[in-house]
Amino acid sequence: MPSAVQSIWEQEYAKPGLPSSQRAKPSNASPFVLHALRARVVPASARLLDIGCGSGRNAAYFANAGFEVHGIDFAAAAKRKFEDSVSRLTVERRPRFVLGRIDRILPFDTAYFDAAICFTTLENLTDDAHIENFKRELARVLKPDGLFAVYFLTPDDEFYGPRVKTGPNGEKIVVAEDIGLTQRVFDGCEILRLFAPPFSLDCSRDFSFEDIRFGVRYIRHLKAMVLMNSAGERASAEPVHRTVTLCRRNRENRHDADN
Ligand SMILES: C[S@@+](CC[C@H](N)C(=O)[O-])C[C@H]1O[C@@H](n2cnc3c(N)ncnc32)[C@H](O)[C@@H]1O
């Protein structure tokens, strides 16, 4: 039986309201993430997992860049859209969709992926325990030194920001009233606290762009971070320290996106 959250997503794909379910163009963060991944992996020989892949707009983008893409999402309605959109791609390896939950054991072998992306989906894992499970599985399915790119809503976002409430453990929660979904927003330091170790920061970028929601103009503020998996290496205090230092530097170094 689908959970309440899963039913919300099924309905959302039946009658798309959110930008991510309506738009065919890839997320604003995709070119930045592709550039960051290319610095470390050769797409033509790399496997990429798209976590919470939705209709496949980003899966298509990374497949066009040469990656072998596997998407996972729990919405059957997203699977139909995904398969329809990737059927039109003229690439050697078409993205594949796996129907499944991202907060359970991931249905992939250990060290199967060179990279993973999770675009505006981590928001659905609202408590630390779910994120901890997710992190453990992510570190398992990624190769050592594999990359994880996460793109997420921040509390600075003009649309969601004013509605943010603090949850029982200090997490920042917002209810998307349009679809009745409870989501979590993050800042960069919180992502590092949740994912390091075994992940450490490779690079990050802030994205600001204009968006019209319900006829009103908002400046949206999201952030992309690329983290590296060091699972398998001996844990030491050093990577965490480095991450925290970078986190401070990063705060002082904001860039606006050009779209
Ligand atoms: C905002 S959409 C983003 C979709 C896609 N990443 C994009 O940028 O177009 C969030 C996606 O996460 C999926 N999702 C949310 N919670 C999930 C879970 N626990 N397991 C699997 N998929 C989940 C939803 O079905 C939805 O497709």
- 236: pLDDT strictly greater than 60: no
For residue 214, the model assigns a pLDDT of 86
CB within 8 Å of 214: residues ≥ 6 apart:
178
| Per CATH, domain 4-251 is 3.40.50.880 | no
How is the chain split into domains, by residue range?
A: 4-251
Ligand 1, atom 16: nearest CA belongs to which residue? 124
State what percent of residues in the chain have pLDDT above 70. 89
For residue 15, the model assigns a pLDDT of 82
- 187: pLDDT strictly greater than 50: yes
Residue 240's pLDDT band (boundaries 50, 70, 90)?
very low
CA 245 to ligand 1 center in whole angstroms:
31
For residue 178, the model assigns a pLDDT of 79
- 33: pLDDT strictly greater than 50: yes
Higher pLDDT, 248 or 152: 152
The closest-lying atom of ligand 1 relative to the alpha carbon of residue 51 is: 6
The closest-lying atom of ligand 1 relative to the alpha carbon of residue 56 is: 9
State what percent of residues in the chain have pLDDT above 90. 76
Residue 16's pLDDT band (boundaries 50, 70, 90)?
confident
Ligand 1, atom 1: nearest CA belongs to which residue? 120
Residue 252's pLDDT band (boundaries 50, 70, 90)?
very low
Contact residues of ligand 1, CB 6 A cut-off: 5, 9, 18, 20, 27, 52-54, 57-58, 73-75, 78, 101-103, 119-121, 124
The closest-lying atom of ligand 1 relative to the alpha carbon of residue 9 is: 25
CA 73 to ligand 1 center in whole angstroms:
6
CA 121 to ligand 1 center in whole angstroms:
5
CA 7 to ligand 1 center in whole angstroms:
12
- 234: pLDDT strictly greater than 90: no
CA 94 to ligand 1 center in whole angstroms:
20
Lowest-pLDDT range of 11-20, 34-43, 170-179: 11-20
CA 129 to ligand 1 center in whole angstroms:
18
